[in-house]
Chains A and B, each alone.
Chain A
Amino acid sequence: MSDTSLSRGARWFQALAGQSRSAAPVLSADAPLVDETARFITVVPDPGNRFPRATENVVGLEQGWQLARAVREAIADDAAGNVRRPIVAIVDVRSQAYGYREEMLGIHLACAAAVDAYASARDAGHPVIALIVGPAMSGAFLAHGYQANRIVALDAPGTMVHAMGKEAAARVTRRTVEALDALGETIVPMSYSMASFAKLGLLDQLIEGVDADAPDAAQIARVQQVLREQIRSAREGSRKLARRLESAAAQKHRAASIEVRRRLAEQWDAV
């Protein structure tokens, strides 16, 4: 744990999964998690990547398709057995890759392939857990984490969920970064903080007191325990994302999402 050059995603992958079976940019391995074996998957920087716009911890063309492959391998391996192994997406993705070649070669489809794989794993009965250890941004989070049965995050500087990077969002909405932060205080979905994300009913657990950059053995064990509990809960609960609307937090801050579903259902069949 002494290599300070490791990205958050790489550091937590090493802590939870050890050696990867695949090289950067997508690491994946099966490793023991308390009393069973889970598949861990993360996206890490890849300075030598042949796509020059996808050298950081972003989701580009190869990242998207390789994420899909890592997930689908686990689905295929377990298809004939009784146990669907848990899949843990370690999330540390700053954005999707922004580039000319990326658009040309269908980055939207590469990211969709990852969405498809995670959603299919969840539907097939794999408990899918997203562990946010860094930024979980926009299309990159859609591709890697947002299809999970459960979402947990470290309560640490640098963990955040948002639809657009702060600087870019400030530019587009013609606000200063400070004004944007102030807005997030009153308008919950505009906030970048994990606490606000939790208010929307989207975060299942905020893990406090863990050093995200240099966790000690006790902290790693605690994160493993949290993952284990979330896996158990996911196995017992519904496989559908509709459960995100059931919490008290969602009833309060996603009232419109719930109202739309209720009234659309009423009108669905003509009377």
Chain B
Amino acid sequence: MNAAPETIARPPVIEMFDVAVATARAPDTAVISGVNWRVSLDDYWVIGGPTGSGKSDLLATAAGLQRPLSGAHRLFGSELPSLHETERLRERLRVGVVFEDGARPFPQLTVAENIALPLRYHRDWNDAMIRQRVGEMLDVTELSAFAGRAPSELARALVPRVGLARALALGPEALLLDNPLAGLDPRQERWWVDFIASLAAGHPSMKGRKMTIVVACDDLRPWTSQGRQFALLKENQFLPLGGRDGLERCNEPLLRDLIAAESP
């Protein structure tokens, strides 16, 4: 990977050294091999790949949710298995994950309860502090009017925002998003792209701290003007492309396909 000098100077968030990424469906099978990848603080990575290329598994491995089949993976400079459970949890919580397929909110909880769950579980806050943080998350994701509703009672386009608000509630330093625009109309797409851009630039709800962003997608068009680093997943390989200039120079046919992809 050809990283710019200033990228190397910034502290690492995610590092992978010759990692073979397992697939959740068949834990002994590598879906991507030989991944050498470094995500530094304040990076904005966009990873394109067709359906079934292993985007979700790569993000799960990057977040420390899935163990690599081989190779070394570090989160904020630490190898998770070597850490004590408390430290491992602390490192893991520095990364938020927004899943594909509606971001997987818990259907038995209301929107507000979904957002409050990680706060109630991990923070020794009183109810007023939790309510305040939940209210803040509801405001920024424009879900305040639906706080008491179950996720199944929301319009389909709003459901992933519950998962987004829940992932942001603990104030992570990095956010990994798996195909966040899948199934959204152009207006909703715009909202997501703008909101993620504001997180990368330093959102007030995150105390103005710039967030490290990694987006995996199967349609690169909305992200070409947003991402600062790009990569492709092709034939079980992770192919870093560099910055926007690298994206323009790249002659990879798959990249052309992903940029020309029709919105679902």
Determine if chain A interacts with chain B: no
Binding site for B on A (CB under 8 A): none
B residues apposed to A, CB below 8 Å: none
